[in-house]
Chain A
Amino acid sequence: MRSPILQTAAKYLLPILLLFSAFLLLRGHYHPGGGFVGGLVASIAFVLHSFAYGTDNTMKLLWYKPLTLIPIGLMIASAAMFAPVLFGLPVMTGLWFDQPIPVIGMIGSALFFDLGVYLVVIGVVLTILFTISLYTH
């Protein structure tokens, strides 16, 4: 059962929700939001797409298995965690660029850490949901 209304809506909602998730991720340090919620919103975007078009089509859209996002995210998070060691500071010390970047604002190691969390959350949620949906029917 494919509903044209849902499919049309999903087509436009997917990029909007992804944009929103990125917005949540970036504003997290100053306003409500953050990597975890951002990741959840992004996965909801894909889940919505999979409801409308079927999980197989969503997987095609993703190019890679969502599982691959997990190690990438873990690597980014741990790189952010250990980057201060290169400057002779304790692990997890916050590092910040001196000047704010247009649109995004201040950028520091915390943002990269959050980015790692964001990717891991997307990877985990989509892996669990899509594996169940693909392999249990």
Chain B
Amino acid sequence: MLLIVLSGLITSCLLIPFGKFFRSKWSLSLAVLPLALFMYFAGHIPFISQGNTIVESHRWVPSLSVNFDFSLNGLSLLFSLLITGIGSIIFIYASSYLKGHVYQDRFLGYLCLFMSAMLGVVLSDNILLLFVFWELTSISSFFLIGFNNDNSESRKSAITALSITGLGGFFLLAGLILMSQVAGTYSIGKLVESAQVITDHQYYPIIIALVFVGAFTKSAQFPFHFWLPGAMKAPTPVSAYLHSATMVKAGIFLLARFTPVLGGTDAWSWTLMAVGGFTMIYAAFHSLFRIDLKGVLAYSTISALGILTFLIGMGSEEALIAACTFIVVHALYKATLFLVTGIIDHETGTRDLTKLSGLRAVLVPVFIAGLLAALSSAGLPLSVGFIGKDLIYEATLHADATVSMYLTAAAILTNICLVAAGFMAGIRPFTGKLNPAFEKVHLPHATMWIPPLVLGILGFILGFFPGILGKYVVTAVLNGMTGMPAAVELKIWHGFNLVLLLSIGTLVVGAVLYLLNKPRAGSLQLLERFNRLSPQAVFGDISHFFVSFSERYTNLFHNGFLRSYLLKIIVFAEILLLYELLIGGPIFIDYSQLSPITFYEAANVFILIGAVIMTVTTSSRLTAVVGTSVIGYAICLMFVFYSAPDLAITQFTIDTLTVVLFVFVLFNLPSFLNFSTNNKATVVRDAFVAISFGVILSIIAIKVLQQPTSIDISNYYGKYAYELAKGKNVVNVILVDFRGFDTMFEIVVLSIAALGVYSLLKLRLKSSEKE
């Protein structure tokens, strides 16, 4: 299974060197990969639908408990089939959709990467592994949304999507780790066994809150839903694949996967029902006012995700059956509608509902696909959508008697809006009089219009024979989720009852709503007046606040003057050291321990002080440079006096080279600023800071003397330098042997610095050459 999961990743890596072969001619051949995977998973249906689970484990990072543990149960199987099945369709479609695009190979590579990541999410049994793949889906989605990277809108949407889903990922990670700490295992299979421990634990509310944030951001639940409409900037195959059929359902998958672990409590179900319920109504209502085809689809997708969250929240067996049926239903009709929209966009160049009309005359097969999908989405009897909707109503009607009426009302309201939205996307562009501008529109390549048609027809085949879906897929999912054997039978005909009545009523009211709701730019503007209050605006304000805060912070601390940086660093160090000195207690100086002052030392200190005075008072930079080097040499002499020859030689050569460096750059520096003549306040301030820093360091040096010194370390090095490293110079032995790693990294840092200087100056030369 490891190879299956990673096959997409490997393929995308292979596309880096061999991508140019797949750019136009052979791009279709890549669809073999998802097709083969689909066959592989389809082959497991009979085995898994009997309630079996396939488990596989490979070691990865055992010390961190991150291992390639995979398990294939009913739920994973459903999602794997969706990922690879819809994936095959998308790969075929994209081969023509992006024909001739310069970066087609790159696009297919991202798709492969995404497919791999998504399979990893649904198959992982280790929660840390799940998280790794979870983040990979966000990252690949970022690349796909920003695929048209020369468009600033598209880049912005990509970053919004990444930051929202990435933020959710952080919360999810925290939740997962907390959960595993409570239960003491990283395996989802084992977590299920200790479900009771987790739900009774005092951290339980925190855990579900964190997991919810992760799932809601990924599945675009209110108030995090706004990244999804933005994500529609991606090429249409991506919207169909990631932002409708698979990736956004990862959050739903997560909730479903953890239902046996965390579910069943009031907090769990009420939160999910409230958030899902609000999202489904809010988004369904919004979808009616969009005039961009993809906008309509984006909002109706959010609404569908809301329905799924809502159903998982209800948690009854009927609700779970409804949820997994609806996942299939939605994937089938929504992917079709997206692909139809993609063809319209590709051929006419617009997605504006106010401009599109009468396309049935020129795009017949596409019209049929759109019609089938719209009817399935509306829940016409004999379509798979009908069964999906029936199950939803059944679940809400059979819920707790006190709330079942409200739940049913919410579901009906949502579905009415969704019927109208489905008609808007699948039927409106094809009806009415053909816009003369589109008379020359022709059918695209067969690889583009066959996939949506296949999906549309499949929606009706499953509608005619719902038993297939029920027996093989839904049963398996239910087994996987509840752990109890169940036999689900889906039927077309339930007899004349309330559910049928509600279903037909929804269809009729939705159709009327569709006829009444003409696409107008005006209504969208009316809706946008409330945008100030929308979550998107709130998130925008927050991020704007961060940007302006960091701008002010940066301007305050990084004003570009070296002297101001030095001042801040030194003042900060002074405050810290002073605090340490104050709490450290009094200082005693033991004069008997100090060595007597010799004549050479006194003379050296005299030279040192003279050089310091010369440096700070001179008005010439050259003199100042010479002054500092005299200070450096005087300090070298100190090292010589106190028998540190290694240090002395090094300091000596470094000082020499510093002077040379100064001489080289002297003429390129700005004019020498001398504050002593014109700005007394600055002089006093700098003098104060400098002198107090010197005083503090001197006090610390004295204080060090009174500390009892531990000579263990020196003894250790002194003893073993010769015994182990065969060297008599302890300093050098430490550098090249005991602490050789440090030296290694130091020379790497030096090399980076040299490369930095080299490339910066070279770069400047290049740009001046251009001028």
Contact = CB atoms under 8 A, between A and B. Distances in A.
Interface of A: 24, 28-37, 40-41, 43-44, 47, 51, 67, 70, 73-74, 77-78, 81, 92, 94, 96, 106, 108, 110, 113-114, 116-117, 120-121, 123-125, 127-129, 131-133, 135-137
Q: Which of B653, B657, B741 lies at the interface centre, i.e. has the most chain A CB atoms within 10 A of its CB?
A: B653
Contact of A128 (B732, B748, B757): B757
Interface of B: 645-646, 649-650, 653-654, 656-657, 660-661, 664-665, 667-668, 724-729, 731-733, 735-737, 740-741, 743-744, 747-748, 750-751, 753-755, 757-758, 761-762, 764-765
Q: Which of A43, A73, A106, A117 lies at the interface centre, i.e. has the most chain B CB atoms within 10 A of its CB?
A: A117
B761 A132 contact: yes
Nearest to B749: A124
A67 B756 CA distance: 12
B653 A37 contact: yes
Contacts of B660: 47, 51, 129
Contacts of B732: 28-29, 33-34, 114
B407 to A, nearest CB: 65
Contacts of A110: 725, 727, 733, 736-737, 740
B624 to A, nearest CB: 19
Contact of B726 (A29, A121, A124): A29
Contact of B750 (A81, A114, A124): A124
A73 B744 CA distance: 11
B762 A135 contact: yes
13 contacts: A29-B727, A29-B736, A34-B646, A74-B748, A94-B737, A116-B747, A117-B743, A123-B751, A129-B664, A131-B757, A132-B761, A135-B764, A136-B667
A81 B742 CA distance: 12
Nearest to A113: B736
B669 to A, nearest CB: 10
B656 to A, nearest CB: 6
A81 B744 contact: yes
Nearest to A51: B660
Q: Which of A34, A43, A70 lies at the interface centre, i.e. has the most chain B CB atoms within 10 A of its CB?
A: A34
A131 B657 CA distance: 14
A36 B746 CA distance: 11
B638 to A, nearest CB: 16
A92 B741 contact: yes
A121 B735 contact: no
Q: Which 5 A-B pairs have the closest CB atoms?
A: A40-B653, A32-B645, A124-B754, A29-B727, A30-B728
Contacts of A128: 661, 753-754, 757-758
Given A36-B650, A40-B653, A92-B741, A28 B729 contact: yes
A94 B747 contact: no
B758 A36 contact: no
B732 to A, nearest CB: 4
A95 B161 CA distance: 55
Given A116-B747, A136-B664, A127 B725 contact: no
A120 B751 contact: yes
A8 B556 CA distance: 53
Q: Which of A41, A127, A128 lies at the interface centre, i.e. has the most chain B CB atoms within 10 A of its CB?
A: A128
A135 B763 CA distance: 10
Contacts of B737: 92, 94, 110
